[in-house]
Structure 1
Amino acid sequence: MKTFMNQDFLLTNETARTLYHSYAEQMPVFDYHNHLSAREIYDDIRFSNITRAWLYGDHYKWRAMRTAGFPEELVTGPCGELSPSESEEQDYRRFCAWAETIEGAIGNPLYHWTHLELQRYFDITLPLSPGTCKEIWDSCNSRLSSPDFSVRNLLKKQNVKSLCTTNDPCEDLHYHRLLKKEGFSVEVLPTFRPDKAYLIGKEDYPRYLDALAKAWGHPIGCLSDLKEALTSRLDFFIREAGCLLSDHSLEGCIYAPAADEQAQAIFEKRMSGSCLSLEERRCFQGNVLTFLGKQYAARGIAMQLHIGALRNNAGRMLQCLGPDTGFDSIDDFTYAGELSALLNSMDCTGELPKTILYCLNQRDYEMLAAMCGNFQSAPCRGKVQFGTAWWFCDNKRGMEAQLEVLSSLSLLPVSIGMLTDSRSFLSFPRHEYYRRILCNKIGQWVEDGEYPCHIDYLGKTIQNICYNNALQYLKGTNT
């Protein structure tokens, strides 16, 4: 029997162990997609206890705790204000509920992530359970009370060099700019996320345009105003805070071709208060996405397309708790033709930006990986990327499958590797989790005689996937 999550965790063969310990283990982290707060990084906050570091805002954990039968007050927390002593007591109760939940998370990545975080940040190798809950609570809280466990130091502990948050075009990026001016050793960059600007069917769309107009400084009365506002904000993100990527969530409605005149008519119809058909929404989104993609290409920034989330399924809980609280899941619509047409609408004029494609449904892995090959072009290696396993696929099985499909239908050595997609400052051992799985997969191919034991080449390939490729892809920088 192997020791629980020891130094060779997930490394099942000698080649894998060599690749991980000699090449992957010490590589820096470029986390190019997450949902961290730049303000919390600038303020260098400290968590008063492990519950606040772990359970505040983590919808992955919340879903598991609900499944385990715990009431909402122990999941997202109680309604109303508590005194400091009541709050500490409630946080401990929530931690105990999490300890009971995680003991039952057999085969779930949450189990591995939880214990990697305990090991890497707190030097705790004891498995978390109701029986060890109090000991681990006390040990973690003792560490968190130290200035060495502020969020900036948590980032440094995991050798994070750069991270990219997710930001609406209306944001002023105040804290990104302060961090840049200060010269904090971890680069904190924004990502341009303009979904609300083209999701014209949303009930609050007119209110959003008012907010965007305020950020831009001019009223938005037509399609050309909208595009000018988005371009202005994009340039602000790049100029003031070093933005390298955009991000888009595509959910059920992706693309239909539409000239500016047609998109303008749709805009006018929506702003007059009329309802739009699905096809009209698809046409408007297609027009704006094509425009944005060309702006990204002109500025050399990458476009991320996250495809396939089915959001806010429980209307009752959406009303109670709001979005992003653990009630999203995997959609199963088909979209290959629309995605191809969207990419081609930019590529046909030579204006397709560097593009990263992610899917939430593993059924679509082969389709997406094959789609990437349609639009590759020099001089960029892997210009269109089949992105790493995302969200519900972000587990051992999903990562292994993504690596196998990527290797089968493309070239693994051009991959830009892993990201956390997380709201937690303790989530960065997920990079280690991915790196171990990557090394084990390649190591197994070598051990099985499917690839020669060219350790120097494979080691460099591993290092590139871990860090160097993302640096080159996003910044044009070689190490």
Structure 2
Amino acid sequence: MRYLQLHEDRALPLDPTARDIALNLYAETRSLPLVCMHGHVDAAVLADDVPFPDPARMFITLDHYVTRLLHAGGVPLEDLGVGADRDPREIWRTFCAHWHLFRGTPSRYWLTHELVDVFGVELAPAPETADELYDELSERLAEPEFRPRALFKRFGIEVLATTDSPLDDLSAHRRLAAEGWGEQVIPTFRPDALVHLARPQWAGEVADLGRLAGVDTGDYAGYLEALRRRRLDFVAAGALATDHGHESAGTDPLPEADAARIYGAALRGAVSERDAAAFAGHMLYEMARMSCEDGLVLQLHPGVLRNHSRAALERYGPDRGFDIPVAAEFTRSLRPLLEAFGHEPRFRMVAFTVDETAYSRELAPLAGVYPALHLGAPWWFLDSPDGLRRFRQAVTETAGFYRTAGFVDDTRAFASIPARHDLARRIDAGYLAELVARRLLDLDEAFETAADLAYTIPRRLYRRPEPLTG
């Protein structure tokens, strides 16, 4: 029978000198508040504040990092409660029987942190421990201190940004604001579904957008106005950012007549794939223009082929772990946007990638010269110990630390948030410690930088938009 362990120096440098420095740096940042500016926790979870139903839903079914690897190991997604009703205890037993699949993965790190540090369990998942673990975790989840809001406070979360469609009525956020949580749980404007014209549901959703905004979206001008109005609704609800998940980082603007023509063709169900792709890039440019007006930070997550398995999409819906990276290009793709807005004082942009080759070749040089552009933390397949470390190695010499945007947890698994931030803080402490040990950075600067990376930088970057004057 195995027991779970959280080593104090986990993920820190092997060299004893650097490790000792890193432990001191980490000690200064480990208790700083968590700034969670990109994630996928449903605001209703906190608005309702009801106990989490069971360990299977808490740790497995809602976490596609977990379900995708179990599925790759031969477990049908239905057996994990995805798109089907299953006995949560049986789901948990399946998970425990496949615990070995997570060895060496960041999910293993996060899950261990959750089980030990958040829930106080000691037994490692295994077939023979599954029921005992399930019962112990079920007892914890029934206790008041493990309800969502209690965990939120215990985790030290200062602000948590959800990710929301422009079609969301934001009712959960209004309920939270009415109870004094409006500054802590805020929405993020994600218009992807409304800018990708080839989606079968697009025309109906654009009509819904018009009804919510009180604007006729029967033409391109009305469509833009509806998006502007919904953005302002989000700002009023506390939003600090928009978020855009495009396959390409292209931002070429279209002549207004061409954009209107493509929009009209889409309404008739006659848009071509080429025109739809051009319109999506054009809308990134337009979203940057709108950010100059309303001050929302533009977050761009390109380079991912969404829903790689059409069969899985049709059977289970999106966000089931089938988003697969593709090569991304930024230098030419972002040029139109950055030439137009890269020096605008009110415009702030954060670019993410899952194509590591772009870090040092394109993104760091771009962020090292355009004041508006910042580098997003590694996400999806790169928010791992070595992925986070490679990020610092790739970008720091060109862009420094202060052109980065802070860590994002990018998770639906609420209990994993502190584990993900903890790992990022450990990796940054280790990287800074190695610079100190090599006499490339003074120790006092390392302490200051560690706190800035963990807290000060994201708080300053994702600041409340200044009202327009004049």
Alignment TM-score, normalising by the size of structure 2? 0.91
How far residue 136 of structure 1 moved from its aligned partner, in angstroms, is 2.2
For 2:183 and 2:283, the matched residues in 1 are separated by 33
Given the alignment, which residue of 397, 403, 413 partners 1:424?
Answer: 413
Is the contact made by 1:294 and 1:352 (CA closer than 8 Å) also made in structure 2? no
Cα deviations by residue, 1:163-220 (Å, 9 ceiling, x for unpaired): 0000111111111122112113870000011112221222222112111112112321
Q: Distance in 1 between matches of 2:82 and 2:164?
A: 26
The 5-angstrom pairing of residues 314-325 of structure 1 reads 314-325=309-320
Instruction: Give the superposition deviation at 1:305.
Output: 0.3
Give the secondary structure class of the aligned counterpart of 1:303. Answer: strand
Q: 1:270 to 1:73 in 2, by over 3 A?
A: closer
1:19 to 17, 25, 47: 25
How far residue 135 of structure 1 moved from its aligned partner, in angstroms, is: 2.9
Residues 352-382 of structure 1 deviation map (CA, whole Å, 9 limit, x = unaligned)? 7201000122222222222222312xxxxxx
- Contact 2:352–2:379, Cα closer than 8 Å, also in 1: yes
Q: Within 5 Å, which residues of 2 pair with 1:191-270?
A: 191-239=188-236, 241-252=237-248, 254-270=250-266
The equivalent residue for 1:343 is: 338
Secondary structure at the residue paired with 1:304? Answer: strand
What is the number of equivalent residue pairs in this alignment?
455
Residues 1:202 and 1:342: Cα distance change in structure 2 (over 3 Å): farther
1:227-268 Cα offsets, whole Å, 9 max, x none, are 1000111111111x1110000011137232312122112212
Distance apart, 1:109 and its partner CA: 0.6
Does structure 2 retain, via aligned residues, the 8 Å contact 1:170–1:211? yes
Secondary structure at the counterpart of residue 296 of structure 1: helix
Q: Does 1:184 align with 2:184?
A: no
Partner of 2:7: 6
For 2:82 and 2:233, locate their aligned partners in 1 and report how far apart those are by CA, in whole Å. Answer: 37
Alpha-carbon spacing, 1:469–1:333, altered in 2? closer, same or farther (3 Å): closer
Give runs of aligned pairs for residues 266-281 of structure 1, distance below 5 A.
266-278=262-274, 280-281=275-276
Kindly provide the amino acid, as one letter, of the partner of residue 231 in structure 2.
Answer: L
User: 1:467 maps to which residue?
Assistant: 455
Cα deviation, residue 77, structure 1: 4.4
Q: 1:154 to 1:207 in 2, by over 3 A?
A: same
**1:396 is aligned to 2:385:** yes
Q: Pick from 38, 42, 50: which aligns with 1:37?
A: 42
Counterpart of 1:292 (choices 270, 276, 287) is 287
Aligned residue for 1:357?
A: 351
**Which moves more between the two structures, 67-76 or 191-200?**
67-76
Question: Matches of 1:238 and 1:345 in 2, distance apart?
Answer: 23
**AA matched with 1:465:** L
Q: What is the alpha-carbon distance in structure 2 between the residues aligned to residue 104 and residue 204 of structure 1?
A: 37
Counterpart Cα distance in 2 of 1:335 and 1:385: 13
Structure 2 residue runs of 5 or longer lacking an equivalent are 14-18, 466-470
Which secondary structure state, in structure 1, belongs to the residue aligned with residue 35 of structure 2? strand
2-structure distance, mates of 1:144, 1:337: 50
* 8 Å contact kept, 2:406–2:455: yes
Q: RMSD of the TM alignment (CA)?
A: 2.1
Distance 1:267 1:78, change over 3 A: closer
Determine helix, strand or coil for the equivalent of 2:276. Answer: helix
Instruction: Name the counterpart of 2:149.
Output: 152
> What's 2:91 paired with?
94
Give 5+ residue unaligned stretches, structure 1: 81-86, 377-382
Could you tell me the TM-score, scaled by structure 1's length? Answer: 0.90
2:351 aligned counterpart, secondary structure? strand
- Whether the aligned pair in 1 keeps the contact of 2:165 and 2:191 (CA below 8 Å) is yes
Aligned to 1:84: none
1:306 touches 1:358 (CA, 8 Å); kept in 2?
yes
Partner secondary structure for residue 334 of structure 2: helix
Relative distance call for 1:18 and 1:354 in structure 2 (3 A) is: same
Change (3 A) 1:245 1:134: same
Looking at structure 2, the residues matched to 450 and 185 of structure 1 have their Cα atoms a distance apart, in angstroms, of 45
Contact 1:304 1:357 in 2 (8 A): yes
Distance 1:440 1:116 in 2: 19
Alignment of 1:117-136 (within 5 A): 117-136=114-133
Aligned to 2:57: 52
For 1:41-62, what per-residue CA distance to the aligned partner results, in whole angstroms no more than 9, with x for missing partners? 0110212321121122211111
Consecutive aligned runs of 4 or more in structure 1 exceeding 6 Å deviation? none
**How many Å separate the matches in 1 of 2:6 and 2:322?**
31
- Partners in 1 of 2:119 and 2:267 — Cα distance? 54
Distance 1:76 1:253, change over 3 A: farther
Q: In structure 1, what residue type is equivalent to 2:456?
A: N
Deviations 1:102-143 (A, max 9, x none): 223221111101001112211224433334333322221111
Deviations 1:433-460, CA, capped at 9 Å, x for gaps: 111111011112222x2424x3332212
Q: Given residue 10 of structure 2, which amino acid in structure 1 is its aligned partner?
A: F
Partner deviation per Cα, 1:369-421 (whole Å, 9 max, x = no partner): 22222312xxxxxx421110010111112111111122122111453321111
Deviations 1:134-166 (A, max 9, x none): 332222111111011001111112100100000
What is aligned with 2:400?
Answer: 411
Q: 1:151 to 1:228 in 2, by over 3 A?
A: same
Q: Which letter does structure 1 place at the counterpart of 2:43?
A: A
Partner amino acid, structure 1, of 2:355: N
Q: Which residue of 2 aligns with 1:386?
A: 375
Letter in 1 for 2:347: P
Give the Cα separation in 1 of the matches to 2:382 and 2:141. 31
CA distance, structure 1, for counterparts of residue 324 and residue 456 of structure 2: 32
Answer yes or no: is the 8 Å Cα contact 2:5–2:116 preserved in 1.
no
1:173 to 170, 177, 196: 170
1:309 aligns to what? 304
2:359–2:391 Cα contact (<8 Å) kept: yes
Q: Is the 8 A contact 2:164 2:189 kept in 1?
A: yes
